[in-house]
Each structure stands twice: as C-alpha cells, then as structure tokens.
C-alpha cells in the first residue's frame, strides 16, 4: 500500500487525495482558511504550507537512493507547498510546524500578512468565538504585528442581499463565498472585485445577493466578513447551547445545529450529513427558527360555548376531552394526523383512537409544486410525509376534505399539528357542529377555530423521528426546555456556559421562554392513567414499539440514527404498512 | 450616453471569432471587453451587462474582471487617460510628486475627468516599466518615461494639439558604460 511520512511518522493511504485532507482525516492539525472539502481548491490563502519532498529514485537499480546512514535521500520541493493542493504520493515526506522551524515561521508570517489590514473588531464581531482567523492566530500566529502604518479601510456593513451583510475589511479574500455561488448554489452572484489590498467580494453592479442558499456563505466565511442580517448582534457564540437537530421546514430534513440561549432558538445552522445535505442548508430552513419561539401555544386553550378561547388548566382540558369522548360513538370521531408531526406523535395519536374504535385516519399532504429545486429544497413542505403515510394514514386532497366532513358529520374532530384550514377548502363553518380538538405547537387559523387546544412540543423540544422525502429516518434532540423538562436532569440536552454557571435567579433567565406544553404521546398517556397499552415513558420506547409492529421500522433505534446521521428506510419492502 | 447599448451583427461575428480562439469562453472575457471598450469608449455597468449576456457568462464574473484591471474604464473617461504609476518603484522615484503635479496642473484629482472632457487621471499599479520610473501611460497606449514636471508640461501641450508622445530611446546604465 502506498505510504506517506508526515512528521517522521508513517501512514498508509488507499485513495488518492490531498495532503491537507488526509491530515485532517487522520486527526492531525494544520492551519488553513481557503480550503473547503466540498469546494474546489484555489490554494490562495497560503496558510496550509508544509515542507514536502519525494525520495530520489535510482532508475538503474529500481530502488530508492540511500545516504550513508542507509536512509532514503529526499529531494524537497524548492519552496514550501500548500498542503491543500498537494497530491498524496507514494513515499512522500512532509514536515509540518511540529517538526520544521521554517514551516512554523512561515505559518506565523503568513498570519501576520493576513492580519496587516485586518480590523481589530473581535469585540463587536459576530464571528468572534467561532472565528478560524482568531483561533488560528491564537494557535499559530505571531504574538504581535510589526505593521505600524495606517490600515487600509474598506466599506463596512454593506447589505449584499436580504439576508447577508458584508464587512469588507474583515474579508481575507479566501473566495469560499464566491466558489459557493459558483459551484454549489450555481447562482454565480458573487465575485471578487478590484485587486491587491482593495479587493473584496461583491455582486455585479445592480444585483442583489438573493441566492436561496446565501446564508451558507456566512457559515463558510472563515472570518466575520459575511454575517447574517437576521442573527447579527443577537448573541455571542459562547452564550449559546448547540444541539443537533433536523430542519422541519422542508421535506428534505437537512441536519442542523440548533443554537439556543435562555431557551430561545437564536439561529439554526447546517450540520454535516453526507447522505442528506453535505455542509449546506437553505436559508428558509434557518429562518424557520422563529416558529419555535414565537406565537407558541402555551397551556391548553378552551372555547366555552363557542365564545372566545381562554386559557385553561391541563386538568380541565383532560376532563373536557373525556366528557366529549363519552358523548360520542367511535364512528362520529374524525381523526386527522399530520405530515408536520413526528412518527412517534402520529403513531401514538393513531393508536389511541384505534383503541376507541376509530378506523379511518387521514392526513393532508403539504406540497407546493415548484417550490423545490435540485439542491436541498423539496416541493414537500412537511418533514414527515412519508412517515405519516408509513403509519397507515390515508392521504386526502385539500379539496376532498370538506366532503368527508360534511358526509361523515363527525361530532368530534381531532387534528394533529397541522394548519389544515389554511391549506384546504375546509372552513371553520364546516366544523361548526363538531367539537374540534387541535393538538398543536403554534397558534394558527385551525387552532383558533378549535374548541379545545392542546399545546404540544416542537421538534426542538422533544426527541422524535421524521422520515424525509428520500425515505431517510432522522431524529431530533430536545434543545429548548419546556415547563416540564430540565437540562440538568435530561442528559440528552446540552448545557451551555450560562446553564453550568448560572442559576435560576440570574437576570438573564426568562421563565416565560419555557413553553407550557408536552409531547402529544405524553398527553395520551395522561388520558389513560394506569393503562399498560399507553404507559410510555419516552419516545425511545415508542419507536421500539413501532419497530416491533411495522417491518419498515424494524431495528430502527435512536442510537443508530445518532451514529449514522439517520437511517435509509426501505419503504417499498413492507406490505403490512397499512395494517398497524 | 443615450439609448441602450447593443452589439450589431458585425460585432457579434467578431466576438464569436474571439471566443472561438479559446478552449473556454471565460478566457475570452478579456479580448471581448477590449473590443467593447474600443467600441463604446468604456465598459460601464451597462456594457458589462451586455458583454455578460452576449457571452452567456455571469455578470458578476465580468464585473470582477473589469474592476481588477485599471485599464478597463468603469465609466466614460476623458479623451486622454493618464495612468500615473504610483506603485513601489515609481513611488520611490517620485511617482506621487508627478501625480500631484498633474492633478494641480489639470485641476482635477486622480479618478476624475476635466470638465472639457479632455483629460482623466488615474493612479495605477505597476505597469512593468520600473526601470524607467517614474512613468505614466497614455490611454492604454504609449508609455512616457523618466517623468519630470517639464515632460508633463510638454506632454499635456502635445496632447492638446493632437500630438501623441513618440518613442523615446532610454539608455540603461549598462548601455552607457558599454557593458551590456
Ligand atoms: S473576523 Fe475574526 S479575527 Fe476578525 S474581527 Fe472578526 S472575530 Fe476578530
Ligand atoms: S467574504 Fe469571507 S468567504 Fe468571502 S472571500 Fe472574504 S473571507 Fe472568504
Ligand atoms: S488552505 Fe491551502 S492555501 Fe488556503
Ligand atoms: S512601479 Fe511603476 S512601472 Fe513598476
């Protein structure tokens, strides 16, 4: 097998590749800025320089030439090489800053150059705390600068597009952002203008950087030159908790990081997932974080005698629901599941009403034709359409819904987290004769039309799985506390600095940010005290139960989903699907 | 400038010819921009857009190329564009003195055009004639070397009377002592 010697240590490699990537894959460190594993390699920052050479080959003898000590004679490249663009070669010898003074000096000098005109903005720079320039300067840079002259100033706070703001002074001209629009999103909206110490990225003269993926440039920008118009100045990186999640604003289900502070979601960024979204995610998914904070249903709401909705207690909600159930036959109950709710919620929802004798279960797909693209946006706007379908709910078109309601004349309607009034021909007048119970996360037209509203947890408040448009099941982790969860007790939840060192009485702790809601399954458990069938303690347990019943979900566990960033399901395989 | 700018049949044929010379059309941006600048006198945003559309390339790319080179004019310029080199070698030999003298003489600053539309001044980077520093280039064409204030006065007078600077043989030190 071909071998390479890095800092006197021998490594074997199978695939052709570049030295920098090989080093990163093998846990070695090397500073770099412009290289990005998913983009082309321009080698323009010069930060990843190493000393490299090849053994001298004796063609006549067919062996490597050796010196007196019996060691291979190495012929070094005349200058230091950029590891990001250097191909792995059999026998290659590489020295990094760990073993070579020249490399160490060169890395520090390069940083000194990059920093010559760099503003000292860190205290007010959004990137601070997650800034490669900061980190690498700290680790590899010079202690100070010898540059004593006036720095070159460039424009600051330029609104490149609706979502991205440029600070040209901070830019190190790595061209990552330009390459992103050229190679990934293919809108070609950015370019580097001018040259020398005057250059920075820009859009063409009168164009707006409105790329639907524009915020990815903010992530990959190795400095604070590109910042998110939305997140700018909202929170310091070290104040937030970072929890893995998935994007539920779209059928693709990109892997995400959910950043919270004081139990508010501050931003959403992509999490690397080779099988789904690589390093990217659409802007719309990131901006959907608001739905987790705003307009939330907290505490049950009840509409006594068709008057205004008022807040009520959980006990009262439970009692009212029981009373209403006692009044009707199972045939008078209409149950509508949701492609927006998780597998676990839909499963328990259905199981509960099955136990009451209900046989028909519907869901309304949420597809916007033409909304998708070839990258990471799908026409399907819901995160779990395949999941709700796999659980045996029947799809019903928005224009057919009124007919079902008028012909079945249900007395009790249950709707799981989905604004169906907004997407179908159904109006609140169709529901006038029925008692409607909405189990939802946010207030909307449907929740307002309901007689009873049960607040349930969102994807950032519970652990639950969702099946994306490609049949991949992925799960979420609670990131935001509800009134009933506690990150100190739930080991799955992340603890940030403020959680570790703060107390409940600190002035940055806002109790109102914790929503009074519970997972849908938990409410079902509450409705059936003492029952073995509904005695779930966690969504993990529910998934195991589903796995025991439905082939599709057989063997699917949270552990495996965590390890492999989701599991590809074989949705065709199962003929039992509709017989839960 | 009036009306929208277009390329006519002949232009398009010429651009086609230029583009064909290269394996990739991106490589033809420079010659096509030169062609456009010859035709319109500048490559302002509307010309950049025209070039990008004609070549079916991203406008941002064309914009980036135009701004990289001071030789491409992003706005209409005077009849004579004086590109004074203020890069390192020229700078140490008095490039900025020459620039300032010229600015005072014409009453405009670098980057500006005289009200009569005769002259524009630009401060530019190295033009590859460091050996003859300080120097300037006239409208992307002739170099004027070893600049002095007198030479500037003469140049301006010449240009005003429609005379382009001629070729000037410059002796290097090695020529002088005959040890080439
Ligand atoms: S980009 Fe990084 S180094 Fe520059 S000001 Fe911002 S945090 Fe500081
Ligand atoms: S804005 Fe950021 S990503 Fe773009 S070139 Fe500058 S440093 Fe690189
Ligand atoms: S990472 Fe290698 S040159 Fe920038
Ligand atoms: S520095 Fe003026 S021509 Fe080189």
How much of chain B, in percent, has pLDDT values that exceed 90?
87
Decide if A203 touches B, using CB distance below 8 A: yes
Residues A101 and A135 in one domain: no
Q: Name the residue of chain B whose CA is nearest to A205's CA.
A: B45
Instruction: List b or e across B87-104, with b for residues whose CB sees 16 or more CB atoms inside 10 angstroms.
Output: bebbbebbbeebbebbbe
Query: How high is the pLDDT of residue B175?
Result: 75
Residue A558 resides in a domain: no
Kindly identify the ligand whose nearest atom is closest to the C-alpha of A225.
2
B90 alpha carbon to ligand 4 midpoint, in Å?
5
Residue A445 resides in a domain: yes
Decide if A186 touches B, using CB distance below 8 A: no
Residue A494 resides in a domain: no
B102 alpha carbon to ligand 4 midpoint, in Å?
17
Decide if B49 touches A, using CB distance below 8 A: yes
pTM: 0.93
Residues B54 and B101 in one domain: no
How near does any CA of chain A get to the CA of B38, in Å? 21
Residue A105 resides in a domain: yes
How much of chain B, in percent, has pLDDT values that exceed 70?
96
Neighbouring-strand partners of residue B144: B136
Among A42-51, A250-259, A299-308, A350-359, name the one with the lowest average pLDDT: A299-308
Query: How high is the pLDDT of residue A580?
Result: 32
B9-59 pLDDT per residue, tens? 999 999 999 999 999 999 999 999 999 999 999 999 999 999 999 999 999
CATH number of A16's domain = 3.10.20.740
pLDDT of A577 > 70? The answer is no
Cβ neighbours, 10 Å, residue B26:
15
Residues B61 and B98 in one domain: no
- Which one of B46, B64, B65, B85 makes the best mutation probe of the A interface by having the most chain A beta carbons within 10 Å? B64
Residues B36 and B89 in one domain: no
Residues A84 and A139 in one domain: no
Residues B90 and B63 in one domain: no
Cα A316 to Cα A187, A252, A449: the distances in Å are: 55, 39, 19
A105 alpha carbon to ligand 3 midpoint, in Å?
16
pLDDT of B1 > 70? The answer is no
What is the span of the domain harbouring residue B87? 80-160
- Locate tokens 């940055």: which residue? A508
How near does any CA of chain B get to the CA of A214, in Å? 15
Tokens representing A55 are 């053994």
How near does any CA of chain A get to the CA of B129, in Å? 19
Residue A543 resides in a domain: no
pLDDT mean over A345-351: 97
Residues A331 and A468 in one domain: yes
Tokens representing A211 are 């790329």
Q: Whose CA is nearest to atom 2 of ligand 2?
A: A221
Last residue of a domain, one of A177, A195, A228: A228
Cβ of B60 within 8 Å of Cβ of A189? The answer is yes
Residues of chain B with Cβ-Cβ distance to A181 below 8 Å are 60
How near does any CA of chain B get to the CA of A183, in Å? 13
Neighbouring-strand partners of residue A191: A202
Query: How high is the pLDDT of residue B67?
Result: 96
B57-82 pLDDT per residue, tens? 999 999 999 999 999 999 999 999 99
Query: How high is the pLDDT of residue A265?
Result: 97
Residues A98 and A122 in one domain: no
Name the 3-class secondary structure at A239: helix
Residue B166 resides in a domain: no
Residues A122 and A205 in one domain: yes
Atom of ligand 1 at shortest range from CA of A223:
1
CATH number of A143's domain = 3.30.70.20
Euclidean distance between CA atoms A106 and A111, whole angstroms: 9
Residue B58 resides in a domain: yes
B89 alpha carbon to ligand 4 midpoint, in Å?
5
Query: How high is the pLDDT of residue B179?
Result: 56
Residue B2 resides in a domain: no
Euclidean distance between CA atoms A223 and A210, whole angstroms: 21
Tell me the CA end-to-end span of chain B in Å, nearest whole number: 52
Residues A88 and A145 in one domain: no
Cβ(A286) – ligand 3 distance below 6 Å: no
Residues B51 and B105 in one domain: no
A287 alpha carbon to ligand 3 midpoint, in Å?
32
Cβ of B60 within 8 Å of Cβ of A194? The answer is no
Residues B91 and B29 in one domain: no
In chain A, how many domains are there? Answer: 3
Residue A544, C-beta contacts closer than 8 angstroms, at least 6 positions apart:
A557
Q: Where are the alpha helices (DSSP H) in chain B?
A: 9-20, 29-40, 45-55, 59-68, 88-92, 95-106, 149-160, 173-176
Residues A334 and A471 in one domain: yes
pLDDT mean over A263-289: 96
CATH number of A401's domain = 3.40.50.740
Query: How high is the pLDDT of residue A497?
Result: 87
Euclidean distance between CA atoms A212 and A189, whole angstroms: 11
Decide if B148 touches A, using CB distance below 8 A: no
Q: What length is written for chain A?
A: 580
What is the span of the domain harbouring residue A374? 301-477+514-536
pLDDT mean over A371-375: 95
Q: Grade residue B178 by pLDDT with cuts at 50, 70 and 90.
A: low
How much of chain A, in percent, has pLDDT values that exceed 70?
98
Residues B91 and B40 in one domain: no
Q: Grade residue B3 by pLDDT with cuts at 50, 70 and 90.
A: low
pLDDT of A343 > 50? The answer is yes
Residue A286 resides in a domain: no
pLDDT of A120 > 90? The answer is no
The three-point CA angle B104-B105-B107 to 5° equals 60
Residue A310 resides in a domain: yes
Strand ranges in A26-181 using DSSP code E only, listed in sequence order? 49-55, 57-58, 63-64, 74-76, 81-82, 92-95, 158-159, 164-166
Residues A168 and A94 in one domain: no
Residues A164 and A69 in one domain: no
Residues B93 and B156 in one domain: yes
Q: In this structure, are residues B152 and B101 in contact, taking their beta carbons and an 8 Å threshold?
A: yes
pLDDT of A178 > 70? The answer is yes
Residue B26 resides in a domain: yes
Query: How high is the pLDDT of residue A524?
Result: 96
Residues B91 and B139 in one domain: yes
Residues B107 and B42 in one domain: no
Residues A22 and A138 in one domain: no
Atom of ligand 3 at shortest range from CA of A84:
2
Residues A94 and A128 in one domain: no
Last residue of a domain, one of A111, A131, A152: A111
In chain B, how many domains are there? Answer: 2
Decide if A202 touches B, using CB distance below 8 A: yes
Residue B167 resides in a domain: no
Residues B58 and B97 in one domain: no
Atom of ligand 3 at shortest range from CA of A174:
4
Residues A334 and A437 in one domain: yes
A402-456 pLDDT per residue, tens? 998 888 899 999 999 999 999 999 998 998 889 999 999 999 999 999 999 999 9
Mean pLDDT, chain A, whole residue set = 94
Residue A248 resides in a domain: no
Q: Grade residue A143 by pLDDT with cuts at 50, 70 and 90.
A: confident
Residues B19 and B57 in one domain: yes
Query: How high is the pLDDT of residue A277?
Result: 96
Q: Are strands B143-144 and A57-58 parallel, antiparallel or unpaired?
A: unpaired
CATH number of B155's domain = 3.40.30.10
Sign of CA dihedral A170, A176, A180, A181: positive
Decide if A204 touches B, using CB distance below 8 A: yes
Pocket-testing residue among A130, A132, A175, A211, ligand 2, by greatest number of atoms within 8 A of Cβ: A175
- Give the neighbor-by-neighbor strand order of the sheet with B119-124: B119-124, B80-85, B136-138, B143-144
Among A73-77, A184-188, A501-505, B110-114, name the one with the lowest average pLDDT: A501-505
């Amino acid at each position: 097998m071909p071998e390479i010697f890095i800092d006197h240590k021998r490594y074997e490699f199978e695939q052709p590749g570049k030295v920098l990537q090989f080093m990163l894959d093998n846990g070695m460190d090397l500073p770099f800025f412009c290289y990005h594993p998913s983009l082309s390699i321009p080698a323009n920052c010069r930060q990843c320089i190493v000393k490299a050479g090849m053994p001298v080959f004796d063609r006549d003898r067919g062996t490597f030439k050796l010196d007196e000590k019996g060691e291979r004679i190495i012929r070094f490249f005349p200058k230091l090489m950029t590891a990001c663009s250097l191909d792995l070669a059999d026998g290659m010898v590489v020295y990094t800053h760990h073993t070579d003074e020249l490399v160490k000096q060169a890395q520090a000098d390069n940083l000194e150059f990059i920093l010559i005109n760099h503003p000292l903005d860190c205290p007010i720079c959004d990137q601070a705390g997650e800034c490669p320039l900061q980190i690498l300067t700290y680790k590899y840079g010079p202690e100070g600068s010898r540059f004593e002259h006036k720095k070159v100033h460039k424009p600051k706070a330029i609104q490149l597009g609706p979502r991205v703001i440029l600070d040209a002074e901070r830019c190190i001209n790595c061209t990552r952002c330009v390459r992103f629009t050229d190679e990934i999103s293919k809108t070609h909206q950015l370019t580097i203008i001018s040259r020398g110490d005057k250059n920075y990225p820009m859009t063409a003269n009168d164009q707006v950087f409105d790329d639907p993926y524009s915020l990815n440039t903010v992530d990959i920008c190795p400095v604070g030159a590109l910042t998110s118009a939305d997140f700018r100045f909202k929170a310091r990186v070290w104040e937030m908790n970072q929890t893995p999640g998935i994007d539920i604003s779209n059928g693709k289900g990109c892997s995400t990081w959910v950043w919270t502070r004081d139990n508010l979601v501050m931003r959403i960024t992509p999490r690397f997932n080779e099988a789904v979204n690589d390093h990217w995610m659409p802007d719309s998914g990131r901006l959907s974080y608001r739905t987790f904070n705003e307009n939330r249903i907290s505490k049950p709401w009840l509409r006594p005698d068709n008057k205004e909705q008022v807040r009520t207690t959980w006990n009262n909600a439970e009692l009212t629901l029981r009373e209403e159930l006692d009044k009707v036959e199972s045939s008078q109950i209409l149950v509508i599941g949701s492609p927006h709710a998780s597998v676990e919620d839909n499963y328990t929802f259905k199981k509960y009403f099955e136990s009451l004798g209900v046989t028909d279960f519907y869901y309304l797909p949420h597809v916007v034709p033409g909304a998708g693209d070839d990258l990471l946006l799908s026409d399907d706007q819901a995160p779990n359409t395949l999941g709700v379908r796999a659980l045996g709910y029947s799809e019903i078109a928005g224009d057919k819904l009124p007919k079902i309601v008028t012909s079945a004349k249900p007395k009790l309607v249950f709707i799981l987290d989905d604004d169906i009034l907004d997407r179908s021909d159904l109006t609140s007048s169709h529901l006038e004769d029925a008692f409607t119970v909405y189990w939802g996360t946010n207030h909307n037209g449907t929740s307002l039309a309901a007689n009873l509203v049960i607040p349930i947890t969102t994807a950032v408040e519970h652990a639950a799985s969702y099946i994306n448009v490609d049949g991949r099941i992925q799960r979420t982790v609670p990131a935001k506390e509800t009134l009933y969860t506690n990150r100190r007790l739930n080991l799955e939840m992340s603890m940030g600095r403020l959680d570790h060192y703060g107390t409940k009485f600190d002035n940055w702790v806002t109790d109102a940010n914790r929503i009074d809601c519970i997972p849908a399954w938990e409410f079902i458990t509450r409705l059936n005290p003492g029952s073995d069938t509904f005695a779930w303690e966690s969504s993990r347990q529910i998934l195991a139960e589903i796995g025991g019943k439905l082939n599709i979900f057989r063997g699917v566990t949270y552990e495996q989903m965590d390890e492999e960033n989701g599991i590809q399901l074989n949705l065709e395989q199962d003929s039992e699907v509709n017989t839960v | 400038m009036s009306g929208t700018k277009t390329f006519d049949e002949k232009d398009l044929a010429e651009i086609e010819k230029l583009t064909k010379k290269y394996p990739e059309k991106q490589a033809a941006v420079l010659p096509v921009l030169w062609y456009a600048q010859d035709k319109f006198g500048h490559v302002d945003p509307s010309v950049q857009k025209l070039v990008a559309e004609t070549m079916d390339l991203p406008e941002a790319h064309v914009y980036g190329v135009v701004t990289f080179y001071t030789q491409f004019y992003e706005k209409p310029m005077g009849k004579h564009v004086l590109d004074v080199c203020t890069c390192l070698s020229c700078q140490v030999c008095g490039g900025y003195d020459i620039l300032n003298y010229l600015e005072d003489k014409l009453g405009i600053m670098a980057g500006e055009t005289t009200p009569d539309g005769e002259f524009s001044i630009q401060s530019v980077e190295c033009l590859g004639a460091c050996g003859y520093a300080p120097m300037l280039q006239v409208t992307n064409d002739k170099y004027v070397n070893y600049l002095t204030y007198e030479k500037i006065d003469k140049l301006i007078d010449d240009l005003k009377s429609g005379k382009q600077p001629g070729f000037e043989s410059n002796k290097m030190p090695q020529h002088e002592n005959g040890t080439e």
